[in-house]
Amino acid sequence: MLKEKVVASLGQQPLLMPAWIKAALQANDRLKLYLTMLQSAAQHAKSPQERSAVDWGRELAQAGLHGSVWLQDMVKTAYFDGQTLFIPQQDQLLEALAADLSVMARPLCDGGQENLAELVSRRDAWLKKLHAMADDEGINPAALADLTRGSRKNGDSFHLLVMDLHKRLNTLAGEIATENLDGAHVWQIEDADRPLVQAFMRGLHRTAPLKFTHPGLDTAVTRDGARLLIQNDIGTSDVHVLVLVVEQRTVSLTYSDLHADRFAFFRQMLEAAGFEWTVFDPVTSDGLNAGKPYQVGKAIFTAADDGRLMEGLAAVASRIVFVIDWNRARKRLQNFVRKPQALALLRRAAAEEWGHMAWLIAGGEHLVFNAMQVVDSEAFRVGDRLDTVLGEAAAQDFLLQLMRISSLMLRQQQPIALVADEARMLLARVLRQRTFEFDLLAEHAAYCHALALALCDALENTTPANATQSTHLVLRAKTWERQADHLLMDARQRAERQSRWQPVAALTEKSDDVADALEEAIFIHSLTLEPPLSGLPAAVNDVLRRLADTTLAAIQDQIRAIEIARHISEPGEAADSELFLQTLWRMLRAERLCDELSRQARVTIVRSLPASPGGLLLASDLASMIEKASDSLLAAGYALRQMVFTKSGMST
């Protein structure tokens, strides 16, 4: 007689529950695999030419379905006739669904539990539906949706029932567990399992405080033959449960997520801990994730010894807390920075073990909006994003420090009001140090530098053989000039909203004249390589090159002056102020040298091209454009000087 029948005959029904729950959890694994493979069969039938063959052998083996070849065949042989899905193995699938539904529901529906009439009714209803579907030819769209739907707005589904049963099973497992081992509900484990469970819980406890009052992280452990099963409820979501399988010195887990970004986030954390991933094709379920595909993957960790195995278990356990409410934090952060920056913030907060929950609890986006409103009403207008005012780097650093402060203070049980005060002080410090205006100026100067350097290179290598290369350079120069124009438009838009940006816009306009002149000079130079000219005389090239080199050197000084100016914020910084003025005046003196070189160029052009009106005209225009760039640099230099003097409080 089977052990469970012996126990039942003795009237000790509660002793059956651990075995029943273990069997129910195994049935849950099989049911989820059946539904996943059913979805895969439907996708393959819809687009057979687009689907690569997937080997389900490992998943079938882990679910205890080693010899179930019919499931592999189901995915390959399914087809659509109209909108009806035909599966040759339909009878086997329905029988398997009904059998495992009964096993999964048994601890709850047949175990003497109270207040579960609804689950009993739903189980019975679905057993009848599965029986009735066996008489149908194929699976129509409504039936397929009823089997796989994950949304509750359209009524019950088989998938929803499985999720609800699983959730109640987790609760029941905690209630009937025979032992609490370091916070984990365990039953029927071996003595050799204890260090592994303790290692997992050690990692979990290290970061669990970062969830604060948020529910989740309940852990249940049992043994299934040679496998140790560790289950953790990440949060309150029906679908967010993580199950690890430990067998010998290998840890494996299957993870699915409705959000591809959160899946990638969790994957990266586990890869850093030594896990290797196999990511499957995205799965689509009707009513789940708004009909969009969700990601499924398997992670494997193989340890060289028992010590490394326990390190791996602790590492994965310590990462689970950072998935709780992750998507909510990501959305809130995107009020202030772009999505890539928001993702980077969450990765950094997890790596530093600050987490994001404290920031959310302290107010999240409201914490930042209130600080923006209180600290500087002139700097921040209604509708302004944090990164548009502070700049991407400064905004990202502010949010990161705010997440760190929130975590530290709430773990010290400081009042939330004190966190709000810290947020205001932190933002005030950032605003005093802001240099985003100089970021824009530096980026614009970089485009001018690229144009000047390209012109110098072109004048250095002027031969007919370089005509094709010159055409490509003209296209690149036009791209650089347009990107510089975009920065000017950005500065103008900011100046319309905030008066402090008006000097920046004025300076950028003058610098943009430099970019325009250099781009035009590159175009004119390309014309000198066209027949019948095939280049300019060496003497003309030489003097034009010296003119362009002097302009390039002045632009390099402009870049240095901008970098020095970004750090001049208070009166009395003599060293920086002196270095800034030296660099600026060197830049301004270059304009005088360019005037002299421009006159030399005109003399050389007239003497070298008396018989070529076209060459004379182009060479003269080229010299004029380079001189125009140097003149615009002079105007930009004076504008930078005035801007810095105003910023630092120095007299003009």
Under 8 Å between Cβ of 63 and 33: yes
The b/e string for 523-561 (b: 16+ C-beta within 10 A; e otherwise) is: bbbbbbbeeebebbeeebbebbbbbbbbbbbbbbbbbbb
CATH number of 436-648: 1.20.58.220
Cα–Cα dist 522/528, whole Å: 10
| DSSP-assigned letters across all residues of 50-108 | TPPP---HHHHHHTT-TT-HHHHHHHHH-EEETTEEE-TTHHHHHHHHHHHHHHHHHHH
Instruction: Give the angle 177-178-183 at the CA atoms, nearest 5°.
Output: 65
* Contacts of range 247-251, beta carbons closer than 8 Å, 24 or more positions apart: 249/302, 249/303, 249/304, 249/305, 249/306, 249/308, 249/309, 250/300, 250/301, 250/302, 250/303, 251/275, 251/300, 251/301, 251/303, 251/309, 251/312, 251/313, 251/316
pLDDT in tens, 160-207: 999 999 988 888 887 776 788 999 888 888 999 999 999 999 999 999
pLDDT in tens, 12-60: 344 456 768 888 888 999 999 899 889 888 888 888 776 555 678 788 8
Cα–Cα dist 34/511, whole Å: 65
Strand-pair partners of 232? 219, 242
Under 8 Å between Cβ of 287 and 144: no
pLDDT in tens, 247-298: 999 999 878 777 889 999 999 999 999 999 988 777 665 555 556 677 778 8
One-letter identity of residue 150: G
pLDDT at residue 611 is higher than 80: no
Q: Mean pLDDT, the chain, as a whole number?
A: 84
Cα–Cα dist 315/313, whole Å: 5
pLDDT in tens, 562-589: 888 877 654 445 566 777 778 878 877 8
Under 8 Å between Cβ of 475 and 522: no
Average pLDDT score over residue span 422-442: 81
**The pTM of the whole model exceeds 0.95:** no
Predicted pLDDT at 648: 61
Please indicate whether residue 594 or residue 177 has the higher confidence score (pLDDT): 594
Instruction: Extract the tokens encoding 395.
Output: 């905004």
pLDDT at residue 73 is higher than 80: yes
Out of 400-404, 459-463, 540-544, the most confident range is 400-404
Please indicate whether residue 591 or residue 515 has the higher confidence score (pLDDT): 515
Q: For 567-609, what is the HEC assignment? A: CCCCCCCHHHHHHHHHHHHHHHHHHHHHHHHHHHHHHHHHHHC
- Collapse the DSSP code of 281 into the 3-class scheme (helix H, G, I; strand E, B; otherwise coil) and give the result: coil
Domain definitions of the chain by residue range: 3-163, 177-322, 327-432, 436-648
Predicted pLDDT at 308: 95
Is 369 buried (19+), middle (13-18) or exposed (0-12) by CB count in 10 A?
middle
Portion of the chain with pLDDT greater than 90, in percent: 33
- Collapse the DSSP code of 384 into the 3-class scheme (helix H, G, I; strand E, B; otherwise coil) and give the result: coil
Q: Which of 227, 240, 226, 256 is nearest to 170 (CA)?
A: 240
Predicted pLDDT at 610: 76
Dihedral Cα 599, 605, 606, 611, nearest 10 deg: -170
Predicted pLDDT at 107: 86
Cα–Cα dist 572/357, whole Å: 43
pLDDT in tens, 98-147: 999 998 998 888 766 667 888 889 999 999 999 999 888 889 999 998 99
Cα distances (angstroms) measured from residue 590 to each of 95, 554, 598, 605: 87, 6, 12, 22
Under 8 Å between Cβ of 258 and 288: yes
Average pLDDT score over residue span 402-418: 93
Cα distances (angstroms) measured from residue 170 to each of 94, 179, 220, 414: 26, 15, 8, 34
Distance linking the first and last C-alpha atoms of the chain: 101
Cα–Cα dist 425/53, whole Å: 58
Instruction: Give the angle 647-649-651 at the CA atoms, nearest 5°.
Output: 120
